[in-house]
Amino acid sequence: MAKMNRLAAKRQREKNKIIIAFLIVPLLFLLYFTVYPVVTMLLYSFTDWKGSATPFSVLGVKNYVEIFTTDTYRNIFKTASYYLVAGIVQQLISLFLAVIMGKALRGSGIFKGFIFFPFIMNGVAVSMVFRMFYQIGGGLDVLLKAIGMEQCIRVWMTNPVTSNICLAFIYLWKNVGYSFLIYLGTMQSVPGEYYDAAAIDGAGMWMQFKEITFPAIKMIIGMMVTLSIVGSISVFDIPYVLTNGKNSTNSFATTLVETAFTYSRYGLACAMAIIMLLLAAIVMVFKNMVFKEENDNGYNR
């Protein structure tokens, strides 16, 4: 018996060795390419590093204070709010579309393709297309003219509010397909018997959604909302291509790039990246706290 135990222990040790041997390479990669840059970024965020080998001095939290006390940097949060609203609207639209497409309608396959297509297109290409769309005499103006709303036509990009709305719309348009697909997938995993039973009991479509679909996809909704909040902070390609972040359309990411590359203030840019990371982390933790509890008490398939 003791011998067998020893043998088992030996086998276990060897197994561990193999596991460690195989893990060590990916772990090193992870450490070098993910952990190391984040740690150095954190260290640089307390300095006035200019991006190369030249010496730098330690500033303490001065970079962080500057971000919250400078107008240009504070505007980032205002810009993010436009994308946040767009993100929430996007969830509603995609949820609505997913509920409709979830029923076996004729031609729904084609529509699914249409809805998902914008998401697989390159962000820069989409932004360039929309640049033409919003130009004077561009697609939007033509469209408004065609439906008799000429009085609404304006120079979309010169006003900070309209330009931000226009940009946030691109974000909505592009990402609707993604959340749509996730919702649709989750909904289709709900067993059809539940709906049949509900239908026999006389539940209408709204009742079915409220009592069966919604509880089943609540977790996913939480996840998608979290993702859209994080996405609204980190949006980059759209303002960069359309406006270079001018006219109060600067997002976290465009301002970060400008700070690092145009002004060579890599230390400050690192501080921005850390704040961005923290915001994302806070949202994630908050989401986990809210939805974990509900998951325990709520619907569980």
Partner 1 sequence: MNKKILSLVLAATLTVSMLFGCGNTSTGQADAGEESISDETIVDNAAENTEETASEGTITLSMAFHNTEEFYEESIVPIVEEFKQIHPEVKDITYTTLSGMGDEQQVTRLTGGQYEDIVLVPTILLASEWSNYFAPLGDASEMAEKYYYGDYMQYEGQSYGIPIGVVYEGLLYNKKVLEQYCDGNVPKTLDELLDDCAKLQENGVIGFYTNAGSIWTMRYWDNLAITMSDDPDYANKIVDTQEPWAEGSSLRDSADLLARLASGGYLEPDVVTADQWDISLTSLGSGQTAFMFTGTWALSQAQDHAVEAGFSADDIGFAPFPYKNDVNADNKLNLRVAQDVFLGVNKNSENLDLAKEFCAFFCERVSLAMGMNEIMIDGGKNQPDLAFLQELDYVQTYTSPARDSKIAEMAGIAGIDVYNFDGFLLDYVILPVLNGGEPEYDKLNEAWKKNF
Mark 222-251 with x for binding to partner 1 (rule: CB under 8 A) and - for no binding: -------------------xxxx-xxx---
Give the residues across from 47 on adjacent strands: 58
Residues 267-286 as x/- pattern, contact with partner 1 by CB under 8 A: --------------------
Q: Tokens representing 256?
A: 């970060």
Helices (H), 107-251: 108-120, 123-134, 139-146, 160-188, 192-200, 205-208, 214-234, 237-243
The smaller minimum CB distance to partner 1, of residues 36 and 261, is found at 261
Q: Which of residues 135-174 bind partner 1 (CB under 8 A)?
A: 135-136, 155, 157-160, 163
265 binds partner 1 (CB under 8 A): yes
Tokens of 6: 């020893």
**112 scored as a contact of partner 1 (CB under 8 A):** no
Examine residue 68 and tell whether it contacts partner 1 (CB under 8 A): no
Binding mask 179-218 for partner 1 (x = CB under 8 A): ----------------------------------------
Closest CA to 167 of 93, 254, 96: 254
- Asked whether the beta carbons of 299 and 73 are under 8 A apart, the reply is no
Kindly state the tokens that stand for 103.
């029923």
Q: Which of 269, 283, 267, 163 is nearest to 232 (CA)?
A: 283
Of 257, 276, 283, 284, the one binding partner 1 by CB under 8 A: 257
Determine how many CB atoms are found less than 10 A away from the CB of residue 90.
26
User: HSE on the CB side for 138, CA within 13 Å?
Assistant: 14
Least distance in angstroms from the C-beta of 2 to partner 1 = 26
Q: Counting beta carbons within 10 angstroms of the beta carbon of residue 39, is it exposed (0 to 12), middle (13 to 18) or buried (19 or more)?
A: exposed
Residue 18's contacts (CB-CB under 8 Å, 6 or more residues apart) are none
Comparison of 243 and 251: residue with beta carbon closer to partner 1: 243
Return the residue of 263, 282, 288, 290 that touches partner 1, per CB under 8 A: 263
Q: How many angstroms separate the CA atoms of 122 and 127, rounded?
A: 9
Q: For residues 27 and 199, which CB has a smaller minimum distance to partner 1 in the complex?
A: 27
Is 51 a binding residue for partner 1 by CB under 8 A? The answer is yes
Q: Choose between 5 and 52: whose C-beta lies nearer to partner 1.
A: 52
Coil, strand or helix at 58: strand
Applying the rule CB under 8 A, the residues between 10 and 39 that interact with partner 1 are 18, 22, 25
Q: Are 166 and 159 in contact (CB under 8 A)?
A: no
Q: How far is the CB of 6 from partner 1 (least distance, A)?
A: 22
Output the smallest distance, CB 47 to partner 1, in A: 14
Q: Which residues contact partner 1 by CB under 8 A?
A: 18, 22, 25, 50-54, 70-72, 131, 134-136, 155, 157-160, 163, 241-244, 246-248, 257, 261-265
